[in-house]
Amino acid sequence: MKAAVYEKYGSPDVVYIKNIDKPVPQDNEVLVKIYATTVTIGDSRMRRFDVPAGQWLFARLFLGVFSPRRKILGMELAGVVEAIGANVTRFKVGDAVMASTFDANFGAHTEYKCLKQDGLIELKPDNISFEEAAAAVGGGMTAMRCLKKATIQPGQEVLIYGASGAVGTNAVQIAKNYLGAEVTAVCSTRNLELATSIGADYVIDYTKQDFTQNGKTYDVIFDAVAKFPESQAKTALKPGGTYLNAHHDSNGSLRKEELTFIVELLASCKLKPVIDRCYPLEEIVDAYRFVDTGRKRGNVVITVKEKTHA
Protein backbone atom coordinates (compact mmCIF):
# COMPACT_ATOMS: atom_id res chain seq x y z
CA MET A 1 0.00 0.00 0.00
CA LYS A 2 1.03 3.62 -0.48
CA ALA A 3 2.06 5.88 2.37
CA ALA A 4 3.50 9.38 2.69
CA VAL A 5 6.74 8.91 4.61
CA TYR A 6 9.35 11.24 6.09
CA GLU A 7 12.67 9.94 7.38
CA LYS A 8 14.28 13.25 8.36
CA TYR A 9 13.06 16.63 9.58
CA GLY A 10 12.83 19.49 7.13
CA SER A 11 10.91 21.14 4.32
CA PRO A 12 7.90 19.57 2.57
CA ASP A 13 10.33 17.89 0.18
CA VAL A 14 11.40 15.42 2.88
CA VAL A 15 7.99 13.73 2.43
CA TYR A 16 7.69 11.12 -0.29
CA ILE A 17 5.34 8.32 -1.34
CA LYS A 18 6.51 4.81 -0.50
CA ASN A 19 5.03 1.33 -0.81
CA ILE A 20 4.80 -0.41 2.57
CA ASP A 21 3.16 -3.56 3.92
CA LYS A 22 -0.57 -3.45 4.53
CA PRO A 23 -1.29 -3.86 8.25
CA VAL A 24 -3.27 -6.75 9.72
CA PRO A 25 -5.69 -6.02 12.58
CA GLN A 26 -5.07 -7.57 15.99
CA ASP A 27 -7.92 -9.22 17.90
CA ASN A 28 -9.25 -5.90 19.27
CA GLU A 29 -8.55 -3.79 16.18
CA VAL A 30 -10.29 -2.75 12.99
CA LEU A 31 -8.56 -2.22 9.66
CA VAL A 32 -9.76 1.00 8.05
CA LYS A 33 -9.49 1.70 4.35
CA ILE A 34 -8.79 5.42 4.46
CA TYR A 35 -10.73 7.65 2.09
CA ALA A 36 -9.67 11.01 3.50
CA THR A 37 -7.18 12.48 5.94
CA THR A 38 -5.75 15.96 6.51
CA VAL A 39 -2.50 17.89 6.66
CA THR A 40 -2.67 19.99 9.81
CA ILE A 41 -0.40 22.65 11.24
CA GLY A 42 0.55 20.02 13.82
CA ASP A 43 1.70 17.65 11.06
CA SER A 44 3.71 20.46 9.51
CA ARG A 45 5.38 21.40 12.78
CA MET A 46 6.34 17.80 13.50
CA ARG A 47 7.70 17.40 9.98
CA ARG A 48 10.06 20.34 10.39
CA PHE A 49 10.57 19.87 14.15
CA ASP A 50 9.19 23.29 15.01
CA VAL A 51 8.66 23.25 18.78
CA PRO A 52 8.85 25.87 21.54
CA ALA A 53 12.30 26.15 23.13
CA GLY A 54 11.00 25.01 26.50
CA GLN A 55 9.66 21.78 24.99
CA TRP A 56 12.71 20.93 22.88
CA LEU A 57 14.03 18.02 24.93
CA PHE A 58 10.63 16.41 25.48
CA ALA A 59 9.79 16.82 21.78
CA ARG A 60 13.07 15.24 20.74
CA LEU A 61 12.41 12.23 22.94
CA PHE A 62 8.81 11.93 21.76
CA LEU A 63 9.29 12.60 18.04
CA GLY A 64 12.78 11.15 17.63
CA VAL A 65 16.22 12.42 18.63
CA PHE A 66 18.09 12.14 15.34
CA SER A 67 15.27 11.24 12.96
CA PRO A 68 11.48 10.76 13.20
CA ARG A 69 10.39 7.79 15.29
CA ARG A 70 6.99 7.73 13.58
CA LYS A 71 7.67 8.03 9.89
CA ILE A 72 4.05 8.44 8.79
CA LEU A 73 2.20 11.55 9.95
CA GLY A 74 -1.54 12.23 9.85
CA MET A 75 -3.68 12.95 12.89
CA GLU A 76 -7.21 12.27 11.63
CA LEU A 77 -8.97 10.10 9.08
CA ALA A 78 -12.25 8.90 7.68
CA GLY A 79 -12.88 5.71 5.79
CA VAL A 80 -14.53 2.29 5.76
CA VAL A 81 -13.85 -0.74 7.95
CA GLU A 82 -12.35 -3.42 5.70
CA ALA A 83 -11.55 -6.10 8.29
CA ILE A 84 -12.03 -6.68 12.01
CA GLY A 85 -10.17 -8.64 14.67
CA ALA A 86 -11.62 -11.70 16.39
CA ASN A 87 -12.78 -9.78 19.47
CA VAL A 88 -14.25 -6.71 17.78
CA THR A 89 -17.92 -6.07 18.59
CA ARG A 90 -18.33 -2.30 18.14
CA PHE A 91 -17.84 -2.26 14.38
CA LYS A 92 -18.49 -4.46 11.39
CA VAL A 93 -17.00 -4.69 7.92
CA GLY A 94 -18.42 -1.92 5.73
CA ASP A 95 -18.98 0.62 8.52
CA ALA A 96 -18.08 4.19 7.58
CA VAL A 97 -15.96 5.63 10.40
CA MET A 98 -14.00 8.70 11.45
CA ALA A 99 -11.10 8.72 13.87
CA SER A 100 -8.23 10.50 15.56
CA THR A 101 -4.84 8.78 15.48
CA PHE A 102 -3.45 10.52 18.58
CA ASP A 103 -3.66 7.26 20.51
CA ALA A 104 -2.38 5.19 17.58
CA ASN A 105 1.03 6.75 16.80
CA PHE A 106 -0.44 9.02 14.12
CA GLY A 107 -0.04 7.41 10.68
CA ALA A 108 -3.15 8.52 8.75
CA HIS A 109 -1.22 9.57 5.62
CA THR A 110 -1.57 6.14 4.09
CA GLU A 111 -4.13 3.85 2.48
CA TYR A 112 -4.88 1.62 5.49
CA LYS A 113 -4.65 2.02 9.25
CA CYS A 114 -5.38 -0.33 12.16
CA LEU A 115 -7.18 1.20 15.13
CA LYS A 116 -8.32 -0.24 18.46
CA GLN A 117 -12.07 -0.63 18.60
CA ASP A 118 -12.18 1.19 21.95
CA GLY A 119 -9.91 3.97 20.73
CA LEU A 120 -10.73 7.37 19.24
CA ILE A 121 -12.99 6.05 16.49
CA GLU A 122 -16.70 6.53 15.84
CA LEU A 123 -19.24 5.82 13.12
CA LYS A 124 -19.41 8.60 10.53
CA PRO A 125 -22.74 10.43 10.33
CA ASP A 126 -24.52 9.85 7.03
CA ASN A 127 -25.06 13.56 6.42
CA ILE A 128 -21.38 14.44 5.91
CA SER A 129 -18.76 13.35 3.40
CA PHE A 130 -15.57 11.47 4.21
CA GLU A 131 -13.62 14.66 3.56
CA GLU A 132 -15.76 16.59 6.05
CA ALA A 133 -15.51 13.78 8.59
CA ALA A 134 -11.71 13.76 8.49
CA ALA A 135 -11.63 17.56 8.72
CA ALA A 136 -13.89 17.67 11.77
CA VAL A 137 -11.88 15.53 14.14
CA GLY A 138 -8.80 17.40 15.38
CA GLY A 139 -9.99 20.99 15.13
CA GLY A 140 -13.40 20.12 16.51
CA MET A 141 -12.07 18.23 19.52
CA THR A 142 -9.54 20.95 20.32
CA ALA A 143 -12.12 23.74 20.07
CA MET A 144 -14.61 21.88 22.23
CA ARG A 145 -12.02 20.98 24.86
CA CYS A 146 -10.89 24.59 25.22
CA LEU A 147 -14.33 26.19 25.21
CA LYS A 148 -15.63 23.70 27.77
CA LYS A 149 -13.17 25.12 30.32
CA ALA A 150 -14.95 28.48 30.24
CA THR A 151 -18.42 27.15 31.23
CA ILE A 152 -20.00 29.47 28.65
CA GLN A 153 -23.63 30.40 29.25
CA PRO A 154 -26.21 31.33 26.57
CA GLY A 155 -25.98 34.99 25.65
CA GLN A 156 -22.44 35.50 26.91
CA GLU A 157 -20.05 37.40 24.66
CA VAL A 158 -17.23 35.30 23.26
CA LEU A 159 -14.36 36.55 21.09
CA ILE A 160 -12.41 34.06 18.98
CA TYR A 161 -9.04 35.21 17.67
CA GLY A 162 -7.87 33.27 14.62
CA ALA A 163 -11.42 32.40 13.66
CA SER A 164 -10.63 31.16 10.15
CA GLY A 165 -8.32 28.26 11.01
CA ALA A 166 -9.12 24.62 11.72
CA VAL A 167 -9.70 25.24 15.42
CA GLY A 168 -11.21 28.69 14.99
CA THR A 169 -13.88 27.72 12.45
CA ASN A 170 -15.02 24.93 14.77
CA ALA A 171 -14.91 27.21 17.81
CA VAL A 172 -17.14 29.82 16.16
CA GLN A 173 -19.77 27.21 15.37
CA ILE A 174 -19.64 25.41 18.72
CA ALA A 175 -19.83 28.66 20.68
CA LYS A 176 -22.74 29.92 18.56
CA ASN A 177 -24.76 26.85 17.63
CA TYR A 178 -24.25 24.67 20.71
CA LEU A 179 -23.43 27.02 23.58
CA GLY A 180 -25.68 29.88 22.44
CA ALA A 181 -23.05 32.59 22.82
CA GLU A 182 -22.80 35.91 20.99
CA VAL A 183 -19.66 35.41 18.92
CA THR A 184 -17.14 37.95 17.67
CA ALA A 185 -14.65 36.53 15.17
CA VAL A 186 -11.23 38.08 14.61
CA CYS A 187 -9.53 37.26 11.32
CA SER A 188 -7.94 38.85 8.24
CA THR A 189 -9.77 40.83 5.57
CA ARG A 190 -10.14 37.94 3.16
CA ASN A 191 -11.76 35.74 5.81
CA LEU A 192 -14.42 38.11 7.15
CA GLU A 193 -17.10 36.70 4.87
CA LEU A 194 -16.18 33.14 5.87
CA ALA A 195 -16.50 33.98 9.57
CA THR A 196 -19.94 35.48 9.02
CA SER A 197 -21.07 32.51 6.94
CA ILE A 198 -20.33 30.05 9.77
CA GLY A 199 -22.28 32.04 12.35
CA ALA A 200 -20.19 34.86 13.79
CA ASP A 201 -22.41 37.73 15.00
CA TYR A 202 -19.62 40.29 14.61
CA VAL A 203 -16.30 40.27 12.78
CA ILE A 204 -13.11 42.25 13.36
CA ASP A 205 -10.38 42.60 10.76
CA TYR A 206 -7.16 42.32 12.76
CA THR A 207 -5.19 44.00 9.96
CA LYS A 208 -7.21 47.18 10.52
CA GLN A 209 -8.28 47.07 14.16
CA ASP A 210 -6.89 45.87 17.49
CA PHE A 211 -9.79 44.31 19.38
CA THR A 212 -8.26 45.35 22.71
CA GLN A 213 -8.40 49.05 21.76
CA ASN A 214 -12.07 49.49 20.79
CA GLY A 215 -13.50 49.68 24.33
CA LYS A 216 -15.40 46.40 24.03
CA THR A 217 -15.01 43.65 26.63
CA TYR A 218 -15.91 39.96 26.55
CA ASP A 219 -16.88 37.15 28.89
CA VAL A 220 -14.51 34.78 27.10
CA ILE A 221 -11.53 35.39 24.80
CA PHE A 222 -10.23 32.32 22.97
CA ASP A 223 -6.96 32.60 21.04
CA ALA A 224 -7.45 29.71 18.63
CA VAL A 225 -4.00 30.15 17.05
CA ALA A 226 -2.01 31.06 20.17
CA LYS A 227 -0.47 34.12 18.53
CA PHE A 228 -1.93 37.16 20.29
CA PRO A 229 -0.10 38.36 23.44
CA GLU A 230 -1.91 36.92 26.44
CA SER A 231 -1.40 39.92 28.71
CA GLN A 232 -2.79 42.25 26.06
CA ALA A 233 -5.78 40.01 25.30
CA LYS A 234 -6.77 39.87 28.97
CA THR A 235 -7.26 43.65 29.03
CA ALA A 236 -10.41 43.09 26.94
CA LEU A 237 -11.97 40.66 29.42
CA LYS A 238 -14.93 41.54 31.58
CA PRO A 239 -14.41 41.22 35.35
CA GLY A 240 -14.31 37.51 36.09
CA GLY A 241 -13.92 36.71 32.39
CA THR A 242 -11.98 33.73 31.04
CA TYR A 243 -8.96 33.72 28.72
CA LEU A 244 -8.32 30.57 26.67
CA ASN A 245 -5.36 29.60 24.53
CA ALA A 246 -5.41 26.74 22.02
CA HIS A 247 -1.96 25.53 23.05
CA HIS A 248 -2.25 25.76 26.83
CA ASP A 249 -5.88 24.73 27.24
CA SER A 250 -5.91 21.74 24.89
CA ASN A 251 -3.26 19.81 26.81
CA GLY A 252 -3.92 16.33 28.13
CA SER A 253 -5.00 12.99 26.70
CA LEU A 254 -7.82 13.04 24.20
CA ARG A 255 -10.98 11.31 25.39
CA LYS A 256 -13.44 9.22 23.46
CA GLU A 257 -16.38 11.26 24.70
CA GLU A 258 -14.89 14.32 23.02
CA LEU A 259 -15.02 12.65 19.60
CA THR A 260 -18.53 11.36 20.36
CA PHE A 261 -19.60 14.93 21.11
CA ILE A 262 -18.23 16.17 17.77
CA VAL A 263 -20.04 13.38 15.92
CA GLU A 264 -23.30 14.40 17.58
CA LEU A 265 -22.82 18.02 16.53
CA LEU A 266 -22.12 16.93 12.96
CA ALA A 267 -25.17 14.68 12.85
CA SER A 268 -27.40 17.49 14.15
CA CYS A 269 -25.99 19.97 11.61
CA LYS A 270 -24.68 22.24 14.38
CA LEU A 271 -21.16 21.85 13.00
CA LYS A 272 -20.03 22.05 9.37
CA PRO A 273 -16.31 21.52 8.74
CA VAL A 274 -14.61 24.16 6.60
CA ILE A 275 -12.37 22.77 3.85
CA ASP A 276 -9.99 25.09 2.03
CA ARG A 277 -8.78 22.65 -0.60
CA CYS A 278 -8.20 18.97 -1.30
CA TYR A 279 -5.13 17.19 -2.66
CA PRO A 280 -4.69 13.54 -3.68
CA LEU A 281 -2.22 11.55 -1.57
CA GLU A 282 0.28 11.66 -4.42
CA GLU A 283 0.37 15.48 -4.12
CA ILE A 284 0.77 15.65 -0.35
CA VAL A 285 4.03 17.60 -0.70
CA ASP A 286 2.04 20.41 -2.35
CA ALA A 287 -0.45 20.23 0.52
CA TYR A 288 2.39 20.70 3.00
CA ARG A 289 3.72 23.65 1.04
CA PHE A 290 0.31 25.31 1.21
CA VAL A 291 -0.14 24.63 4.93
CA ASP A 292 3.34 26.07 5.55
CA THR A 293 2.22 29.41 4.07
CA GLY A 294 -0.02 29.90 7.11
CA ARG A 295 -2.88 31.03 4.89
CA LYS A 296 -5.19 28.02 4.94
CA ARG A 297 -8.82 28.53 5.86
CA GLY A 298 -10.23 25.71 7.90
CA ASN A 299 -8.72 22.43 6.77
CA VAL A 300 -6.55 20.97 4.03
CA VAL A 301 -7.80 17.51 3.11
CA ILE A 302 -5.95 14.62 1.48
CA THR A 303 -8.09 12.24 -0.57
CA VAL A 304 -6.69 8.74 -0.36
CA LYS A 305 -9.19 6.29 -1.83
CA GLU A 306 -11.92 6.74 -4.40
CA LYS A 307 -15.25 6.85 -2.58
CA THR A 308 -17.76 4.11 -3.30
CA HIS A 309 -20.52 5.56 -1.10
CA ALA A 310 -21.23 8.72 0.92
Instruction: Say what the pTM is.
Output: 0.93
For the domain spanning 139-250, the CATH number is: 3.40.50.720
Spatial separation of the C-alpha atoms in residues 14 and 16, rounded to whole Å:
7
Which ranges in the chain are annotated with CATH 3.40.50.720?
A: 139-250
pLDDT of 58 > 70? The answer is: yes
Query: Do 265 and 198 meet the contact criterion of CB atoms below 8 Å apart?
Result: no
Whole-number Å distance between alpha carbons of 212 and 202: 15
Residues forming a β-bridge with 30 = 84, 115
Q: What does pLDDT average to over the chain?
A: 94
Q: Where in the chain is the domain with CATH 3.90.180.10?
A: 2-138+254-303
Question: What phi and psi, each to the nearest 5 degrees, are found at residue 296?
Answer: -70, 150
- The pLDDT > 70 percentage for the chain reads 97
Pick from 76-80, 82-86, 101-105: least confident = 101-105
Query: Is the pLDDT at 309 greater than 70, yes or no?
Result: no
Residue 55 has pLDDT above 80, yes or no: no
- How far, in Å, CA of 4 to CA of 111, rounded? 9
Rounded to whole angstroms, the Cα distance separating 226 from 41 reads 12
> Which architecture characterizes domain 2-138+254-303 according to CATH?
Alpha-Beta Complex (3.90)
CA–CA distance, 70 with 134 (Å, rounded to integer):
20
